[in-house]
A and B are shown apart, each in its own frame.
Chain A
Amino acid sequence: MDEQPGLSEQYRRASPWPLFIALGLPIAEIGVLFGLVPLAVGGLLLFVGSVAGIVQESGYVERPWNLLVGLGGVLVVLGGALALSQLTGGSLDGFVSALGSNGLVVRGVSIVIAGAIALGVGGVARFVETEPI
C-alpha cells in the first residue's frame, strides 16, 4: 500500500465524490436541455467520472477505468441514437447541415462527444495504469 493514504482511505467517514456527482448532474441537465455543448460535455464528464470514482472507492470495482469506458459507451449509444433519429439520409453533408439547423442533433452529438472522451480516457488509463495496487 502507498505511503500517503487518500482522503477516504484515511478517514472512515469522508468521501470527496458525492459533491461532484451532485454538481455534474445539474450541469449536464442544463447543458443538454438548452443545447449548450460545453456544459453538456463537461457536466456529463464530471458526472460519469465521479460515478466511476465513487464506485471504486466503495470497493465494488478495483479500478475505475473499465467502468468509465462502459459509461462512456452508454453515452455514445444514447447520444448517437438521439442524433441518428433526426437524420434522414446517410450523407456527411446532410449531417453537417443538420448540426446547424436541428437542435436535437446538436444535443445528441454533445452527448456522443462526452461519451467518446470518457471512453478514450478510460481506455488509455486502463493500459497506462497497470501497476498492481
Chain B
Amino acid sequence: MANGQIALTLLMGVLLVAVAAFLTRIEDWRSYTPLAGGGGGTAEESGYAHEEKPGGLIRWLTTVDHKDIGMLYGTYALATFTIGGLMVMIMRAELLDPAATLIESTTYNGLLTSHGITMLFLFGTPIIAAFSNYFIPLIIGADDMAFPRINAIAFWLLPPGALLIWAGFFVPGLAPAQVGWTMYAPLSVGVGAGTQSGAGVDLMLLGLHLTGVSATMGAINFIATIFTERAEDCTWANLDIFSWTILTQSGLILFAFPLLGSALVMLLLDRNFGTTFFAVEGGSPILWQHLFWFFGHPEVYILFLPPAGLISLILPKFSGRKLFGFKFVVYSTLAIGVLSFGVWAHHMFTTGIDPRIRGSFMAVSLAIAIPSAVKVFNWITTMWNGRVRLTAPMLFSIGTISNFIIGGITGVFLAAIPVDLVLHDTYYVVGHFHYIVMGVLGFMTFAGLYYWFPIFTGRMYQRTLAKWHFWLTFVGTQLTFFAMLLLGYLGMPRRYATYDFPIGPVDPVTALHQVATLGAFLIAIGFVIHVWNFVQSWSEGPILEDEDPWNLKEIGQYTREWEWHHRRMETAIADGGDEEVATDGGKESNEEELTTDGGENVSETDCSD
C-alpha cells in the first residue's frame, strides 16, 4: 500500500513536470496580446500571427478549429462504433445456439453493458457532434463556434471517458460492469454477490459522468453559436433545418444531461459513502428509475432529432424539390423536444407505479406519434413527383425513413400499457429501439459521411462499394431487428446469454436468433466495405475538380457549406495548394456519381436551403 502510494506520487509528479515542461516549450507565457472580450478565434492579426495552426501531431492535439474538432469527433466515433460493434459480434455469435458455449454469461453481461453505453454515449452523441461541429458554423455563416476552446475541451473529455468506461475489461484486477446501460438500483448500488460492487462499475460511472460533462459543454456551445454567431443574412426565418434540430437537441441535452450527472453522483455516493438515495429502505430503487428515465427518454430523442434533420437536409437534394412543409418539420421538431420530457414513465409501466400516473404517461407517449408522423409524411411528400436520384446518401436516407416507420410504430405499441405489460423486457423492445438507433442514427451517419465526403476529402468515394455497403446494411438491419421483434412476441427476454430454459418453444427461438446473427454479420461486412471505401478513396481517389459534385446548383440548392468548399478550392488553387486541400496533379474530375449534368443556372441561396 505504502509502496503503491509512493509509486503513484512519483508517477503523478513526473506527469505534472512533463506537462509543465511541454507547456513552457510551446507556449510563451508573456507573449499574449490581450484580446478584449475573449471569444477566441477572432484575435487581431499581429505581424507573425498569420498561420492558423501548427503542423503535425501538435496541430491535432491543440486545434480549436471547429472543422478539425469535427474531424476528431468523427474519427473517435467511428473507432468507438467499431469497438461497440466488435462487442456485439461476440454476443451475437454466442447467441447462435441456446447454451452458453462461446463465452461465460458474466462476460456476456459485461459486453452487453459496454455495448449499450459505448453506442449511445461514445458513438451516438459524438458522431452527431462531428457533423454539427464541422457544418453548423459553415451553414449559418459563423467564423467558428462561439467558444472554440470549450469546444476542444468537450472533445478531449471523451477519450478519458471511454477508457474509464472500458476499464473493467483491461485493468488487471477489475471486472467489467454488468449492470446494463440503465444501471438499475439496487444492483448498481452494489447489492448482491456479483461483481457489481467492484471498482469497475465506479470507473464506468465516472466515465459516463465525463461524457455527460462533455455533451453539456458542447450543447451550451451550439446554443450560443446558433443564437449569436449567425451571419447577417441568416435569420430565424430562414435558418436551415439541420441547425434547428441541433438547436433543439442541444436544449434537450442542457436539461437532460446535468440530471444524469447528478443521478450518477448520487449513485456513486450510495456505492462508496453509505448514502441511501436508491436503497430499498431509503429513497427507493424507483427513484433511480425516475431520474434515469427523465434523462433517458430525452436522450433517445437527442440521438434521433439530428439524424432526422439530416434526412430533411439530404432528401430534397436528391429529389430535386424543396423540403415539403418546412415550417411543420420545424414545429414537429420543437414539439417532440418539448413532449419528450413528459413521457419518461412509459419505461416504468411494469414497476407497479400508480395506474393514474401510468395512464397520463401513456397518453403523452401516444401523442408523440403525431409530430413523428408529420415528419414521415413530409419526407414522403418531398420525394413525391420529385426527380429522385438514388445516390448512396439518398439510399441511406430512404432506408432510414422505412426503418423509422417500423421503429416508430413498434414504439406506439409499447406505449400502450396493456401491450407493454406483455412485451416489456423482451426482445421486442430491443428490436424497437434498434430500428431507431441503428436504423435511423446509424443509417444517417453513413448518409452524412457519403454526402459530405467531397468536402471532407476533396475527392469522391467509390459508388459501387457504397451501394454494396447500403444493401448489406439494409438487408442485415431488417434480418437482425425484425427477427428480434418476432423473438419478443415469442417471449424471449432481453439481456440473456442463453435461451435453453423451458419457458417457450426453443426451436423457433433458436432459428430467429440465428437469423439475427446472420443479419449482424451482413451489417459488419458492409461496415468493413465502408471503411475500406473511405480509406482508399480518401488516399487514392481522383481529386474532385467539380465544386458541385451533386449538381445542386441546377436545382437551386447549392448551400453555404458547398459555397465555402468552392471558395476553399479556389484559394487552394491560387495559393498553389495548402495543407487542407491537395491540388497537385489536377486530374479529371470524377463524375461517377452524377446522374445529370448541364445547365449552370446558379441561383442565389440563403442559409435556409
B247 to chain A, nearest CB (A): 24
A36 interface residue (CB < 8 Å to B): yes
CA A36 to CA B188, docked complex, whole Å = 23
In residues 50-88 of chain B, which contact A (Cβ within 8 Å)?
50-54, 58-59, 61-65, 68
Contacts of A12 in B (CB 8 A): 41, 43, 45, 49-53
CA A29 to CA B164, docked complex, whole Å = 11
In residues 1-29 of chain A, which contact B (Cβ within 8 Å)?
1-2, 4-23, 25-27, 29
Are A13 and B65 touching (Cβ within 8 A)?
yes
Are B54 and A62 touching (Cβ within 8 A)?
no
Name which residue of chain A comes closest to B19, CB basis. A20
Q: List 8 A-B contacts (CB under 8 A).
A: A1-B46, A12-B52, A26-B161, A33-B202, A42-B16, A46-B19, A59-B36, A59-B38
B283 interface residue (CB < 8 Å to A): no
Name which residue of chain B comes closest to A6, CB basis. B28
Name which residue of chain A comes closest to B7, CB basis. A38
The 8 Å CB contact of B34, one of A13, A21, A45, A62, is: A62
Are A41 and B41 touching (Cβ within 8 A)?
no
Contacts of B65 in A (CB 8 A): 13
Are B153 and A18 touching (Cβ within 8 A)?
yes
CA A38 to CA B155, docked complex, whole Å = 26
B157 interface residue (CB < 8 Å to A): yes
B11 interface residue (CB < 8 Å to A): yes
B31 interface residue (CB < 8 Å to A): yes
A132 to chain B, nearest CB (A): 9
B469 interface residue (CB < 8 Å to A): no
Name which residue of chain B comes closest to A107, CB basis. B273
Q: Would you give the 0/1 interface string for B468-488, flagging 1 where the beta carbon is closer than 8 Å to chain A?
A: 000000000000000000000
B17 to chain A, nearest CB (A): 10
The 8 Å CB contact of A6, one of B15, B27, B64, is: B27
B201 to chain A, nearest CB (A): 12
CA A7 to CA B58, docked complex, whole Å = 10
Contact A133 to B149, CB < 8 A, known contacts A19-B61, A41-B12: no
Q: Would you give the 0/1 interface string for A44-64, flagging 1 where the beta carbon is closer than 8 Å to chain B?
A: 011000000110111110100
Are A38 and B5 touching (Cβ within 8 A)?
yes
B123 to chain A, nearest CB (A): 19
Using a CB–CB cutoff of 8 Å, the interface residues on chain B facing chain A are: 5, 8-9, 11-13, 15-16, 19, 22-23, 26-41, 43, 45-46, 48-54, 58-59, 61-65, 68, 144, 148-150, 152-153, 155-157, 160-161, 164, 199, 202-203, 206-207, 209-210, 213, 268, 272-273
A72 to chain B, nearest CB (A): 15
Q: Would you give the 0/1 interface string for A86-104, flagging 1 where the beta carbon is closer than 8 Å to chain B?
A: 0000000000000000011
A81 to chain B, nearest CB (A): 15
Are B48 and A14 touching (Cβ within 8 A)?
no
A30 interface residue (CB < 8 Å to B): yes
Contact A14 to B59, CB < 8 A, known contacts A26-B160, A46-B16: yes
Are B31 and A6 touching (Cβ within 8 A)?
yes
Are B8 and A36 touching (Cβ within 8 A)?
yes
Contacts of A41 in B (CB 8 A): 12
Are B39 and A58 touching (Cβ within 8 A)?
yes
Contacts of B62 in A (CB 8 A): 7-8, 11, 14-16, 18-19
The 8 Å CB contact of B41, one of A1, A13, A46, A54, is: A13
A37 interface residue (CB < 8 Å to B): yes
Are B164 and A26 touching (Cβ within 8 A)?
yes
Contacts of A62 in B (CB 8 A): 34
Using a CB–CB cutoff of 8 Å, the interface residues on chain A facing chain B are: 1-2, 4-23, 25-27, 29-30, 33-34, 36-39, 41-43, 45-46, 53-54, 56-60, 62, 103-104, 131, 133
B127 to chain A, nearest CB (A): 19
Contact A60 to B153, CB < 8 A, known contacts A6-B28, A13-B64, A26-B210: no
A99 to chain B, nearest CB (A): 13
Contacts of A53 in B (CB 8 A): 23, 27
CA A41 to CA B16, docked complex, whole Å = 11
Are B29 and A6 touching (Cβ within 8 A)?
yes
Contacts of A14 in B (CB 8 A): 52-54, 58-59, 62-64
The 8 Å CB contact of B202, one of A18, A34, A58, is: A34
CA A120 to CA B508, docked complex, whole Å = 71
Are A16 and B202 touching (Cβ within 8 A)?
no
Are B32 and A18 touching (Cβ within 8 A)?
no
Name which residue of chain B comes closest to A13, CB basis. B65
Contacts of A131 in B (CB 8 A): 30
Are B59 and A9 touching (Cβ within 8 A)?
no
Name which residue of chain A comes closest to B67, CB basis. A13
Contact A23 to B31, CB < 8 A, known contacts A15-B64, A30-B203: no
Contact A11 to B52, CB < 8 A, known contacts A33-B272, A38-B8: yes
Name which residue of chain B comes closest to A24, CB basis. B19
CA A133 to CA B41, docked complex, whole Å = 21
A124 to chain B, nearest CB (A): 15
Contacts of A38 in B (CB 8 A): 5, 8-9, 11-13
Name which residue of chain B comes closest to A22, CB basis. B156
Are B149 and A13 touching (Cβ within 8 A)?
no
CA A62 to CA B35, docked complex, whole Å = 9
Are B149 and A9 touching (Cβ within 8 A)?
no
Are B28 and A4 touching (Cβ within 8 A)?
yes
